Amino acid sequence: MENLVKRFIKYVKVETSSDESSIVVPSTPNQLAFAKELAQELSSIGLSDVSVDDKGYVMATLPANIEKTVPVVGFIAHMDTSPDMSGLNVKPKIIENYKGGDIVLNEEESIILSPKDFPELIDHIGMDLITTDGTTLLGADNKAGIAEIVTAMEYLVKHPSIKHGTIRIGFTPDEEIGRGADHFDVEKFKADFAYTIDGGPIGELQYENFNACRAHITIQGRNVHPGSAKNKMINSITIATELNSMLPVHQVPEATEMYEGFFHIVHFEGSVEKTKTVYIIRDHSKEKFQEKKQLITEAVAFLNKKYGHIITLDLKDSYYNMREKIEPVIHIVDMAKKAMEDIGIRPIIEPIRGGTDGARLSYMGLPCPNIFTGGLNYHGKYEYVSIQGMEKATYTILRIIEMLAE
């Protein structure tokens, strides 16, 4: 597994943040450059049918080495990192045999990864951790997944005595901005089912996710001198805060867990004259999801009636809960669960409080549950991954492949 760590560290040093404001695909040029590098690597380790299209989607095949027909399985990960924090000049640090307690990420800036704030660290005592230096995210989401998939394929090529059917590999751009499956060619991929390797802690196995949409709201105010503003000024900032106060105060990310949905304001930019806000709306229940969309729509309508049609609302669905597409083929979840158990992992089957490419791919005809990578605290400077977790994710991939051949 030495190559696994080297590969991961090499990948995270490549800046591949996606950009929601971009209208091209992929949204940033570095993603396409990284895709071409990955394609060269896949060819060099012995995979066939390696391709990169002009939108940055990488596909490859490890041909079967058995004669009997078994299902074609795919493994998918995304190449972009979250734009929530810089992924430029990532300087990973390896903490060998973590003994507990605080980890100083950046002494100069007093940035500390502490079990007081992140109690899951205690579960990693005795493991080797890869962290940030406190100035960037790490990029384990999802370069750990890429490294695990590539390492598993390399292992199979070097060990032809391990019997396997046809295996398909796919790497996508722009997952972090909700566009990862936009141009994924399911017909070209030719897999019966697949797994995204895009989860978190060791043992995580997921086939439920949020239904999701994004609400862009623009409020057009009227600015006049405050000394003569009575009955004239319309302060778009105060109207934006009034709208926010009309949403359920406890239905926010910081007050919810498991199957509880939320409204999450992710952008606020304004002046008296004009204010723009962006919300993401999430719920596992399709009915509650519709209720949340209806609530924000009615709140905007109420304020428009009150202030004179100065608010525009653009609601756009992002993805849906893949559960209804996975349950008819639940054996692929059971197989991943058994694979983990076979290598000594306790499966943790929980809903995703977010989404993956697999959610949309499941609705495109490619059932696609999600498997752990070993990483935690994604999208920020406190992100880390355990080397042992990455190894176990790689073993899980290999065991699933073995089980299909058996």
| Dihedral over Cα of 178, 140, 395, 51: its sign | positive
Neighbours of 10 (CB within 10 A): 13
Which pLDDT score is estimated for 356?
80
Question: What is the three-class DSSP state of 143?
Answer: helix
CA atoms within 13 A on the CB side of 326: 24
Annotated catalytic residue, options 15, 174, 175, 357: 175
With a pLDDT cut of 70, the percent of the chain lying above it is 100
Is 80 exceeded by the pLDDT of residue 1?
no
**CATH of span 211-319:** 3.30.70.360
Tell me if domain 2-208+321-405 and domain 211-319 are identical in fold.
Answer: no
Token digits for 172?
Answer: 């996508």
Q: What is the pLDDT of residues 220-257, one digit of tens each?
A: 999 999 999 999 999 999 999 999 999 999 999 999 99
Question: What average pLDDT does the chain have?
Answer: 96
Cβ-contact 366, 189 below 8 angstroms: yes
Which pLDDT score is estimated for 118?
96
Nearest-CA neighbor of 217 among 192, 188, 246, 175?
A: 246
Which pLDDT score is estimated for 66?
95
Is 80 exceeded by the pLDDT of residue 70?
yes
Token digits for 305?
Answer: 């009636």
Q: What is the pLDDT of residues 256-287, one digit of tens each?
A: 998 999 999 999 999 999 999 999 999 999 99
Which pLDDT score is estimated for 328?
96
The DSSP secondary structure of 107-136, one letter per residue, reads TTTTEEE-TTT-GGGGGGTTS-EEE--SSS
When pLDDT is cut at 50, 70 and 90, the band that residue 20 belongs to is: confident
Angle between helices 387-405 and 2-12 (to 10 degrees): 110
Asked if 187 is an active-site residue, the reply is no
Question: What is the three-class DSSP state of 158?
Answer: helix
* Sheet bearing 48-52, strands edge to edge: 48-52, 58-62, 167-172, 73-78, 193-197, 370-371, 204-206, 348-349
- Measured between alpha carbons, how far apart are the two ends of the chain, in Å? 24
Q: What is the pLDDT of residues 103-144, one digit of tens each?
A: 999 999 999 999 999 999 999 999 999 999 999 999 999 999
Neighbours of 40 (CB within 10 A): 11
Annotated catalytic residue, options 80, 148, 383, 391: 80
Angle between helices 236-245 and 286-307 (to 10 degrees): 140
Is 90 exceeded by the pLDDT of residue 65?
yes
Residues in the chain: 406
Q: Amino acid letter at 401?
A: I
Which pLDDT score is estimated for 285?
94
Asked if 175 is an active-site residue, the reply is yes
Which pLDDT score is estimated for 56?
97
CATH 3.40.630.10 is right for the domain spanning 2-208+321-405: yes
Distance CA 91, CA 35 (A): 21
Q: 184-196 burial string, b = 16+ CB within 10 Å, else e?
A: bebeebebbbbbb
Distance CA 41, CA 22 (A): 28
Distance CA 198, CA 358 (A): 9
Q: Which residues contact 245 (CB under 8 A, 6 or more apart)?
A: none
Q: Average pLDDT for residues 294-322, to the nearest whole number?
A: 95
Is 80 exceeded by the pLDDT of residue 213?
yes
Cβ-contact 100, 199 below 8 angstroms: no
Which pLDDT score is estimated for 167?
98
Instruction: Show me where the domains of the chain are located.
Output: 2-208+321-405, 211-319
Q: Average pLDDT for residues 191-214, to the nearest whole number?
A: 95
The maximal CA–CA distance of the chain, rounded, in angstroms, is: 85
Distance CA 73, CA 54 (A): 25
Strand partners, 62: 167
Is 80 exceeded by the pLDDT of residue 355?
no
For the chain, the C-alpha Rg in angstroms (whole number) is 23
Token digits for 80?
Answer: 């972009």
Which pLDDT score is estimated for 357?
87
Question: What is the three-class DSSP state of 353?
Answer: coil
Nearest-CA neighbor of 211 among 327, 290, 142?
A: 290
Distance CA 113, CA 131 (A): 9
